Amino acid sequence: MGTTCRPPPRLRRAGRLLRRAMSGCVWELGPPGKRWLVAGLGNPGLPGTRHSVGMAVLGQLARRLGVAERWARDRRCAADLARAALGDAQLVLLRPRRLMNANGRSVARAAELLGLTAEEVYLVHDDLDKPLGKLALKLGGSARGHNGVRSCISCLNSNAMPRLRVGIGRPTHPNAVQAHVLGRFSPSEQELLPPVLERATDLLLDHIRERSQGPWSGT
């Protein structure tokens, strides 16, 4: 059997220190301006599944903002974080490392550390009731049966978070819902996904830019 190659202890320690330093940079105050937390809901370790399409949007958003290589793990909120500038505003991108049903714990802790209200926290998540590729951005409202959103509402003690819903379609048979959301996109769906992620990113950035120029309230 072959052996697994591991870097020397000194390099492993240097890597840990670098990741810790990058994580700390997320919480440092930048220049004056509005700050927003953008959370992509999903299940860690399950990329490419319909239920984690919110995390896919965050990946595209990070690439668009030039921070795709700057994700850093933060143990305080059990999430991967990246900070980016958008004009005079600051965005903190978040991918929870907890399961979907507990995503809210990561989101709420990050909002607390950043000193943000629920209105300043964007949630990006899948939507069974919209066909694949259909997007909708709304301010606040109920969880509509989405466990990740329900967790966020509970942990933030508010339902005022703006949400970008990304359609994944609903299977015809009710018993197939769980397998559908936890399953990976089919080859034909994967061909449609890149432009969907682009449009989702456009919609999100346009909305944040507009709100950054207006009052601080969630309007």
User: What positions carry a catalytic annotation?
Assistant: 51
Q: How far apart are CA 47 and CA 50, in angstroms?
A: 9
* Contact criterion met (CB below 8 Å) for 156 and 132: no
Cβ pair 196, 133 in contact under 8 A: yes
Region for residue 50 given its phi and psi (left: phi exceeds 0; alpha: psi -120 to 50; beta: otherwise): alpha
Euclidean distance between CA atoms 114 and 89, whole angstroms? 14
Closest to 112 measured CA to CA, from 58, 57, 155: 155
Q: Which of 122, 113, 115 shows the shortest CA–CA distance to 41?
A: 122
CB within 8 A of 95, min separation 6: which ones? 39, 40, 42, 44, 55, 58, 71, 79, 80, 81
Percent helix, percent strand, percent coil in the chain, to nearest 5:
45, 20, 35
DSSP assignment letter at 183 = S
Task: Say how far apart CA 170 and CA 215 lie, in whole Å.
Answer: 37
